[in-house]
Every structure is written in structure tokens, then in C-alpha cells.
Structure 1
Amino acid sequence: MSTGPGPVFDLELARKALESQPFSRLLQARITEFGDDAATLELDIRPELHQQNGFLHGGVLAYAADNALTFAAGAALGPSVLTSGFSIQYVRPAQGATLAARAQVVSAGRRQAVVRVDLVVRDEDGAEKLCAVAQGTVLTV
């Protein structure tokens, strides 16, 4: 994510940055929370995002983790940031109506942030299950 220099990075600018990403538009992702060194990215789970066993594809989970951690770091460091690297651990197959990737900065300096992400799936009744955790490093550009 990189929106260049400009006003303070807020929820409106975060949503515009997400909307400028063609892949995020394809997945119909949305930012539902942003600020205080945190961000939440959500997307509705649709059949075309499943793998062969009917679970949400791991690549979609990895996308959500990557983007959420970068946006959380952007809340701490400013909008001109890129993911340096991340790891993801799948806890259980993702099945539900909505995926939420909740990212929180755990450490930030002037040029780098380390971020943790919890990925949960919500069913139609709003019950949540943890399906993956991720951690990554984000650098200013």
C-alpha cells in the first residue's frame, strides 16, 4: 500500500488505498476498522474463493493477512509502507460467511513495524472461529 505524501492517514484514505488495488476489488475486500496502530480487513466468503474441499483457499487467507498487517503498520508509520515479509500458520480450515483479518502493531520504530494478525471466520449468526495467525514486518518506502 502506498498512497504517497499527503494528509493524515485515516479510515477514509485507507479505504481509498484499498479500492485502488485491483486484486482487492476482485476479492471485494473492505476495511472495517483503521487507526490506533490497528486495522481490520474483511471479505465475504464466496464459493469461487474455495479450494477443492470447500474451504476458503489459503491464498485468500494469506492475502488478507498481508493486506491487514500492512494497513495496521500504515496506521503507525504513515501511508507509504510495504510488507517486508510475513509468516502465516493455519489453525483450522476456514468455513463461514465472512473472513476478518484483525491486525495490531506489536512494535514500531521510525521505519519498521512488526504486526500480528488474527484471522477469524464468522458464521451467519456472528459466531467466530480462529482459522489462522500471521506475523509480519513492514517497512516505510
Structure 2
Amino acid sequence: MAETPAISLEEARETLANQPFSKLIGASVVELDRGSGTLRVPLRPELLQQFGLVHGGVLAYAADNALAFAGGTVLGPAVTTRGFSIEFIRPAQGDHLLAVGEVLNQTRRQALTRADVFAVAEDGSSKLVAAAQGMITRVEL
């Protein structure tokens, strides 16, 4: 039997709802299991750059949050990103982004995580557009 995540899907959604920037972007947590989390970002013209492609900052935002939510499933809800790197694989366009985060390794206080960001077209087809890896740390509030 799978272990219960240290943060529930409801808690993750509440956390995201309390982030003004996440509300501005329109992001939502769509899946959460112990060791993984998936974030959805609907694409609209305000999130694109001058060539009609998804702005790199939006891709980085999606990756960062997927990393953090995945880490939160093993460390609990009070986490922050200590650092991450991202590789932009191809230009992104489509209906929405899906950022899928997973925990690679963990200790009591931190988790090494990775995220794949996919651009999803209206027909449901998807392409990998970015990949990130980062360290998520538990914070004392």
C-alpha cells in the first residue's frame, strides 16, 4: 500500500490559492501522490513572449512549483525551493502546460526533485518543453 503524502491535495490547492502570483498565472494542482505532484497552467496571450511562444519565466514558474509540491509530499507543507536549474528543450505553445514533479532522493529536511514540463495541445497531444532539477528544503515557520 502506498504511503500517504505529507501534504494532501486539498492543502496543496489551498497553498496555491494563497499565492497571489499563482492566482495571476491561473495555476492549479491537478495531482498529488507521495513523491510526486502535477501542476497545470492554462495558456493565454498574457503568458506569451513576442513570438507567440510561452515565456521562459512561465516555464520556470511551472517547474519550480512542481518541484516544490513534489518535495512537499515527503517533507510537509512548509517548504521552499533552495535552488534549481532548468533546461528549455524546445519552444512551447499549446492549450496549457503540465509540470510533473517527482522526488529523486530525500532526507528529513530536504528533497532532491526533478520536473518535466509539457506543452499540451487542444487535441491532448503533448511535447516535453523543459526539464528542471532542484533542492526543496523544509522551513521552520
TM-score by length of 2: 0.93
- Kindly report which structure 2 residues correspond to 1:1-141, keeping only aligned pairs within 5 A, or say none: 9-141=7-139
Dislocated runs of 4+, deviation >3 Å: none
Q: Secondary structure at the match of 2:77?
A: coil
Partner-residue secondary structure (3-state), 2:58: helix
1:100 and 1:25 map into 2 onto residues whose CA distance is: 16
SS in 2 for 1:23: helix
TM-superposed CA distance for 1:36, in Å, is 1.6
- In the alignment, the residues of structure 1 paired with residue 65 and residue 117 of structure 2 have an alpha-carbon distance, to the nearest angstrom, of 12
How many residues are aligned here?
134
- Deviation, structure 1 residue 124: 0.6
Superposed CA deviations along residues 69-123 of structure 1, whole A, max 9, x for unmatched, are 0011000111111100000000000011010000000001100100010000110
Structure 1 unaligned residues grouped into runs of 5+? 1-7
- The alignment-based identity, stated in percent, is 52
Any gaps of 5 or more consecutive residues in structure 2?
1-5
